[in-house]
Amino acid sequence: MNLKPYIAYARKSFLMRSAYRFDHIMQILSTCLQIFIYWEIYRSLYGSSIEVDGISFGMVTTNFVLSLGFSAGFYVNDFYLPQKIWDGSLVTELLRPISFRGRMLAENIGNGVFSMLFRFLPAFVIGVVLVGICPPESAAALGLFLVSAALGYGVLWTISFAVQMTAFWLVNIWSIVTIKNVCINILSGSMIPIWFMPEWLRNLIDFTPFSSIYFTPVQIYLGQLSGREIAGKCLLQVVWIVCMYGIGSVLWKRGQRKLVIHGG
């Protein structure tokens, strides 16, 4: 498989994002503001307490700084395919001698690399300076955290990929994308740490891919998982990537047979 076209698309997406510097400055400030707001809320909730149910304030701070940073850096374009269906350009895309799905992933990775470098890292550094976070449990935990974070992005992207495929049957997928984003924000642990959720809800979340996006990397970073548990969680992330991509691929093949473009 020739990767050069996909690398070129990723590079082009990276360079295009760099043209809107003011927009990214405002997004960094927005992420930092969210971090500060969450910090104030949880500081008020903890009060003079050092721990709540065995969860220290530092662990909570680390969770929302990393989760909000990842939510800023994990770029996915939920309307990449729908837009090309709406304007009729998908027909031209399908005639290109490269995989459309490969191009979609490459462009998202290019945008994601830019977001990680110029949105996540600045917001992360500012968050560390302003509110402070726990250091990684060890150098090994940091390395595994990065691996799990990459897999978490894979889970996020494949969920978006599967949702986008419904555009072949729906006029507008905005409502589905909104529901998907709400589920991710709440059930991934980025807004409310999963530690504080009722046991029945934690058990339910274990049957969804959402905790694999942000919460699993955070647990590894904090050293809350043993070696066997880390292997199991990372394997679960891979399973979700395969499952969601498989669902999206089935919808993609069926959607192409249904596709009708007028004009464009």
pLDDT tens digits, one per residue of 201-220 = 988 898 899 999 999 999 99
Please list the residues that pair with 51 across neighbouring strands: 56
pLDDT at 156 over 90: yes
Find the DSSP H helices in the chain: 4-17, 21-46, 57-73, 80-86, 90-95, 100-115, 121-130, 139-164, 174-187, 199-205, 215-222, 227-258
Per-residue confidence at 260, pLDDT binned at 50, 70, 90? low
Residue carrying the six token digits 């020739």? 2
Which of 175-179, 191-195, 226-230 has the weakest average pLDDT?
Answer: 191-195
Mean pLDDT of 165-193: 90
Question: What was the pLDDT predicted at 130?
Answer: 79
Question: What was the pLDDT predicted at 264?
Answer: 45
pLDDT at 262 over 60: no
